[in-house]
A = this chain, B = another copy of it.
Amino acid sequence: MLYLVGLGLADETDITVKGLEIVKKAERVYLEAYTSILLVKKEKLESFYGRPVIEADRELVESGSDQILEDADKKDVAFLVVGDPFGATTHTDLVLRARELGIESKVVPNASIMSGIGCTGLQLYNFGQTVSMVFFTENWKPSSYYDRVKENIQLGLHTLVLVDIKVKEPSLEHLARGKIIYEPPRYMTVAQCASQMLETEEERKEGVYGPDSLAVGAARVGAADQKLVAGTLKELAEVDMGPPLHSLVLLGRKTHDLEKDYIREFAVDKATFDASWEKGYGATS
């Protein structure tokens, strides 16, 4: 049996009791460690589980899945995924490969950022499609996300923006010289995300949002030091929310008073928050 076990969002104790039992008994345990991270190191997981854990990078999962699935028709293999196994990153391809090999699979769900973002007090019913924000470079500033945000905004809906992380990325400079050396990990912040959003708006000029549009930044959702900040995009582009992981929600105009009361508490500046709110939010339909 292949078990896909969600680890939740913050630390080693966010695994479910059901998930932990499976991890303790499995023959081999893999940790998917390239699309998201827990806020604790692999060693801490191993000592909590009382067993070794094999780190699975992109190459192993995408090209070496048969190695992961070896003997899984007779033995139990656990594949651990930060968040939920079918959340922000879906591991359908691994399950499909297991199916082809006649291996059964089971999923142990857990909190995903796609629902955990509800901790902002914004109602999940009022969210449109989720988008991803990648690190812009000098020559590559993809803005297809902007079209999705536009669709959400036109319907008055919130948009969850998931931000880029780069873990174990080969250095292109070294690759060119025939060496594989990995770049240090990078995690996009709320400030970078807000600033890139404003950059896209300046380029596309479709008025989907602007410096005074309200958003909520969330850092380390589910952790003891979880942090929420509400403010305009201009304010969030300057905010320091501490260590990763970060996410951002751009508010839609259809916003309930309960949502306002909840997030106002986290406002960078209650005066600018109220001013922006008055201008464009609180529509009921």
Contact = CB atoms under 8 A, between A and B. Distances in A.
Nearest to A8: B16
Contacts of A134: none
Nearest to A130: B125
Interface string A70-113: 00000000000000111110101101100100000001111110
A121 B87 CA distance: 10
Contacts of A85: 118
Interface string A245-282: 00000000000001101100100000000000000000
A146 interface: no
Interface stretch (A17-25, A52-60, A207-215): A17-25
A51 to B, nearest CB: 15
B155 A96 contact: no
B90 A123 contact: yes
A120 B86 CA distance: 9
A198 interface: no
Nearest to A256: B92
User: For the complex formed by this chain, how many copies does it contain in all?
Assistant: 2
Interface residues of A, number: 57
A259 B93 CA distance: 10
Binding site secondary structure of chain A: mixed
A157 to B, nearest CB: 6
A15 interface: yes
Interface string A108-150: 1111101110111101111111111000000000000000000
Given A15-B16, A109-B221, A124 B87 contact: yes
Contacts of A86: 115-116, 118-121, 124
Nearest to A162: B125
Contact of A118 (B112, B131, B265): B112
B13 A21 contact: yes
A98 to B, nearest CB: 12
Contact of A15 (B17, B88, B120, B259): B17
Given A18-B13, A84-B111, A114-B115, A129 B126 contact: yes
Given A109-B119, A126-B129, 7 more contacts: A8-B16, A12-B17, A13-B21, A87-B115, A90-B258, A114-B114, A127-B129
Instruction: List 8 A-B pairs, minimum CB-CB distance, nearest first.
Output: A86-B118, A109-B111, A13-B18, A115-B115, A112-B115, A13-B17, A114-B115, A109-B116
Interface of A: 6, 8-9, 11-18, 20-21, 84-88, 90, 92-93, 95-96, 99, 107-112, 114-116, 118-121, 123-132, 151, 155, 157, 221-222, 258-259, 261-262, 265
